[in-house]
Amino acid sequence: RKNSLIQLYCIFNLLDLAKLYFNYSSMNAGKSTALLQSAHNYHETGNETILFIPREDADKNSGLIKSRIGLSASAVVIDSELKIYDYVKKELSQRKVDAILVDEAQFLKKDHVLQMCKVCDELQIPVMCYGIRTDFRGELFEGSASLLALADNLIELKTVCNVCSRKATMVVRLDEDGKVITEGSKVQIGGNDVYRVLCRKHFNEATKLLD
């Protein structure tokens, strides 16, 4: 009886690992670096991963997940045609898959997130998503909204406001002259030349969007 209880405890622990994680932050918090480090840690212990990246970011980075400190890795591109659950299930028929890691998860559609839930719940594979919570207007991205609603674990990665020492939770977009803008396409790929990270107070001072 004691051995049976131990076996059940181990099974429940293994099942508990198959969760959907959303690691979120503002920009420049090292999300891609954290993802690539996690993938490396899996491989170091003999485990296998699949890395995904949405089309919006893949086109700029030639299908690679890239970090600001120079690390990179190839990834499967997520577009409107890709059925993530079917893709992972097919991979499982050919090799073992111990974890799924997704960069720039804010660009996912709700259907992509639902498929990732299915990967966790039916295939018992943990899915770790990394992304930004809000856009330059302070509004949730579709992928982020779905992950905040459905993820089992929410993990905040922190960075510092460009103006003060408070935690940065927002981003603002800059035009070619370095001035803050509040209109334009929701998706625009860019780095420090296009975006700045700010706390809520300085975001509102710069945009007046929270008045």
3-state DSSP of 67-96: CCCCCEEECEEECCCCCHHHHHHHHHCCCC
Residue 5: its pLDDT value, please?
45
From the list 112, 156, 153, 163, the residue with the least C-alpha distance to 134 is 156
Active site members:
104
Is the pLDDT confidence value at 131 over 80? Answer: yes
**Percent residues over pLDDT 90 in the chain:** 69
3-state secondary structure at position 130 = strand
The candidate with the shortest Cα–Cα distance to 155, out of 12, 19, 2, 22, is 22
Tell me what pLDDT residue 191 has: 63
Cα dihedral 54, 131, 117, 79, rounded to 10, equals: -10
Closest CA to 74 of 105, 44, 39, 42: 39
Q: pTM to 2 decimals?
A: 0.86
- DSSP β-bridge partners for residue 98: none
Residue 46, phi-psi category: left (phi > 0), alpha (psi -120 to 50), beta (remainder): left
How many whole angstroms separate alpha carbon 124 and alpha carbon 106? 23
User: What value does the mean pLDDT take over residues 175-181?
Assistant: 87
β-partners of residue 51 are: 101
pLDDT tens string 8-46: 444 444 445 789 999 999 888 889 999 999 999 999 999
